[in-house]
Amino acid sequence: MPAPSVIIDLDIIAENTRRVADTLKPQGIGMFGVTKAACGSPLVARAMLRGGVFGLADSRLDNVRRLRHAGISAPIMMLRIPSVTEAPDVVRHCDLSLNSEAAVLDALAEAAQEQGVVHDVILMLEMGDRREGVSPEDLIPLAQTAMAEPSLRLAGIGANFMCASGVLPTVEKLERLARLADDVEQRFGTRLDYVSGGNSANLALMETEGVKMPARINNLRIGSTILRGENSFTGGTLPGYDDGAFTLEAELVEMKTKQSLPDGETGPDAFGNRLTFKDRGARLRGIVNLGRVDIRPEGLKARHRNIEIVTASSDHLIVDITEAKKFAVGDPIRFEMDYGALVQAMLSPYIEKHLAGRENIAPRPSAIRLIADASVHDLEETRQFLLGATALGFEIKRDGAPEPADLPLWIIPGRNGIHELIATADVEAVESGLLWMDSDPGDIGAVVTPEAAALLGIRTATREQAAIIGERDIVAFTMEDVDLVGIREATRRAIKRVTETTDGFALVLHASVARGMDADPREAGLSYRECSTVMERVAASEELRAIVLAGLGAEPDPAALESAYGYLLSALGKRILA
Ligand SMILES: *Cc1c(COP(=O)(O)O)cnc(C)c1O
């Protein structure tokens, strides 16, 4: 695993979510899963949805867009009170938002009216934490503003605790919130959908002190308990929850015995802080390839016993390993992160993100399942290809539905229905990447996980296709790009993209992309060598899970089919000298 990386265990996220749901459901409380500490990662969001959240909540529009572009259609709540200028985008991407200002409600109403929708608002009450919200006396006038706007729906009221000032939620405060909900309902003769009582701190109150939420509280917004198993009161872990969903892994790059005191006159460090150190004599110290640029070192704790964090500069994290087990330069060092460090690590472009335990989720395929027209099955070229696949150790199956250890190979005439085919190969809880080799981006809008998709070999694209590629942030290498960076580098980046946060990927190989498969050899983009290089890298990744061979027409030309089979055998791991 390249370091530094954040290793994300989606199973733990889903399991922690289930646990929260088990606590809340009997009390009639629903929850929104808060994705902001994971920067709106669609993978994390889907794990939360699998675990039973009703909707998702985030504080940043960029994160919400990321969720929407990944095709997530669950309700999304905007947590941070919107600014006037972003009101149109909040209405466009979010189903509901938390609010405290009449001017913002006006802006939301205007935007909703323009977009022809009704936007749900929750009004926030200030209950001591001194962050967002109106005082109880100002609630009715604000509710009046919301009620007066036909394009807004007053969906509820809410409060937030333990954020700006660390003020704890209490039953007394929550009862006050419940009474205010009654007041609003009586005053306006409406029914509020949400009385949103707070965040993970409320859950800590319930789980550690056995406190029941007042009956009217029917919603919480939960982030840190799901992501970190955190007890918000103590910073520790709540009993029964797993704190291992995110691990920061970096590498030991220096190990030397050094004096614990600096030598020489001292001024401020690189960040303007004046530090004092304790004289502990000579200590065995390590340097880990992380720094303040990536991470807040105060928010890290080593997952190994007896490693102490001493200090950090922009790029060097200094640890004391005198009392730890024996390490060597090059060893991975693992850290847990607090909420702040987690966001920062998720944001850092220098830190890769990987999924943990994928080998447990998606087994390596042991069989090739050829799904094609009967005439293709009968061809001599097909027989030869299947013999080649058998020699590589694959069992051969024909047609029918793909089973978990199968690598399905569909041969289809054109581009129609590719996304649907790939979807049938996906097992629940498996995130698939998509490496699409084609001269034309096809139905690119239907890509399910754009963050794990890459296009290679594009020669033409319509304006619409180009816009979708840009908007959904899909990695695309045109033939021009391939000429510029070279096929090896383009392939490396593409495969990185489709494997980094997935349990393997599907390969779409369209006849128009490479020499030999295409009817008109002058048209094809990639040369025989270039396409073979891609296939060899695909094999080396060991993450190929499905193949769609497309564009050979209803009755494939045997020579074109033979070329395509040759490429596919390379992708399955055939070597010249094997
Ligand atoms: C961040 C946030 C939450 C989630 O808090 P956790 O402690 O992570 O559960 C809930 N509500 C609002 C308004 C937030 O900003």
Q: From ligand 1's centre to the CA of 311, what distance in Å?
A: 30
Q: Is 100 in the pocket of ligand 1 (CB under 6 A)?
A: no
pLDDT digits over 374-414, tens only? 999 999 999 999 999 999 999 999 999 888 789 999 999 99
Q: Does the pLDDT value for residue 428 go beyond 60?
A: no
Question: Which class for 282: exposed (0-12), middle (13-18), buried (19 or more C-beta within 10 A)?
Answer: exposed
Q: What angle do CA 197, 202, 205 make, to 5 degrees?
A: 140
Contact present, 334 and 249 (Cβ < 8 Å): yes
Pocket test for ligand 1, best of 160, 161, 230, 234 (most atoms within 8 A of CB): 160
Can you tell me which atom of ligand 1 is nearest the CA of 36?
A: 1
Q: Is the CB of 97 under 6 A from ligand 1?
A: no
CA max distance for the chain: 83
Q: Give the closest residue (by CA) to ligand 1 atom 6.
A: 223
User: 28 to each of 60, 64, 164, 176, 214, how far by Cα in Å?
Assistant: 28, 27, 28, 19, 11
User: Which of the four pLDDT bands, split at 50, 70 and 90, describes residue 489?
Assistant: very high
In the prediction, which pLDDT does 578 show? 59
At residue 418's C-alpha, the angle toward residues 533 and 409, to 5°, is: 55
CA of 487 to the centre of ligand 1 (A): 45
Q: Per-residue confidence at 359, pLDDT binned at 50, 70, 90?
A: very low
Q: How far is the CA of 330 from the centre of ligand 1 (A)?
A: 38
Q: Measuring from atom 7 of ligand 1, which residue has the nearest CA?
A: 200
Give CA–CA dist 422/193, Å, rounded.
39
Q: Tokens 């830190």: give the residue.
A: 351
Tell me the mean pLDDT in the region 24-35.
96
Residue 61 near residue 89 (C-beta atoms within 8 A)? yes
> What average pLDDT does range 287-295 have in this prediction?
95
CA 310 to CA 321: how far, in whole Å? Answer: 10
Distance between CA 215 and CA 181 in Å, rounded? 12
Least confident residue range of 222-231, 355-364, 528-537: 355-364
Q: State mean pLDDT over 19-27.
A: 96
- Residue 252 pLDDT greater than 50, yes or no: yes
Among the residues of 411-462, which ranges form H helices? 418-425
> How many C-beta neighbours within 10 Å does residue 484 have?
11
Give the position, in ligand 1's atom list, of the atom nearest the Cα of 222.
Answer: 9
- At residue 258, what are phi and psi to the nearest 5 degrees? -135, 155
Closest alpha carbon to 515 in 492, 494, 531, 503: 531
The pLDDT tens digits for 36-95 are: 999 999 889 999 999 999 999 999 999 999 898 877 889 999 999 999 999 999 999 999
Nearest residue (by CA) to ligand 1, atom 8, is 223
Count of other CB atoms within 10 angstroms of residue 574: 17
Q: Does the pLDDT value for residue 137 go beyond 80?
A: yes
Q: Is the CB of 232 under 6 A from ligand 1?
A: yes
- The H or E element that residue 502 is part of is none
Q: Is 79 in the pocket of ligand 1 (CB under 6 A)?
A: yes
Q: CB of 408 closer than 6 A to ligand 1? A: no
Phi/psi of residue 451, each to 5°?
-70, -15
Q: Which two tokens stand for residue 510?
A: 């369209």
Locate the ligand 1 atom nearest the alpha carbon of residue 132 and give its number.
13
Q: Quick check: 340 pLDDT over 50?
A: yes
Q: Among 34, 205, 228, which is best to mutate for testing ligand 1, by the most ligand atoms less than 8 A from CB?
A: 34
Span 430-437, average pLDDT: 86
Phi, psi of 270 (to 5 degrees): -60, -20
**Euclidean distance between CA atoms 457 and 479, whole angstroms:** 5
Q: Report the pLDDT value the prediction gives residue 246, as an integer from 0 to 100.
A: 97
Whole-number pLDDT of residue 360: 47
125: CA distance to ligand 1 center in Å?
A: 15
Mutate to test the pocket of ligand 1, among 17, 24, 199, 342 (most ligand atoms within 8 A of CB): 199
Q: Is the pLDDT of residue 429 over 80?
A: no
Phi, psi of 53 (to 5 degrees): -75, 150
Q: What is the pLDDT of residue 520?
A: 65
Tell me if 221 CB under 6 Å of ligand 1. yes
Considering the chain, what percentage of its residues have pLDDT values greater than 70?
96
Nearest residue to 208 (alpha-carbon basis) of 7, 407, 23 = 23
Tokens standing for 412?
């289809």
d(CA 117, CA 98): 17
Distance CA 560, CA 268 (A): 69
> What pLDDT digit, counting tens, does each position of 97-128 carry?
999 999 999 999 999 999 999 999 999 999 98
Question: Cα 157 from chain centroid?
Answer: 30
**Residue 201: count of CB within 10 angstroms of its CB:** 24
Question: Does ligand 1 come within 6 angstroms of the Cβ of 34?
Answer: yes
The yes-or-no verdict on residue 361 having pLDDT over 60 is no
Structure tokens given for 276: 């004092």
3-state secondary structure of 169: coil
C-alpha torsion sign, points 7, 10, 12, 16:
positive
**Which active-site residues does the annotation give?**
36
Ligand 1 pocket residue status of 224, Cβ below 6 Å: yes
Q: Which domains does the chain have, with CATH numbers?
A: 9-228 (3.20.20.10), 247-359 (2.40.30), 367-572 (3.40.800.10)
CA of 494 to the centre of ligand 1 (A): 35
Beta bridge partners of 256: 285
Residue 531 confidence (pLDDT) above 90: yes
Name the average pLDDT for the chain.
Answer: 92
**570 in contact with ligand 1, CB cutoff 6 A:** no
Strands (E), 35-159: 55-58, 76-78, 96-99, 119-125, 152-159
Residue 488 has pLDDT above 70, yes or no: yes
How large a percentage of the chain has pLDDT more than 90? 77
How does pLDDT run across 199-215, given as a tens digit for each residue? 999 999 998 888 899 99
- Residue 249 CA to residue 304 CA, distance in Å, equals 11
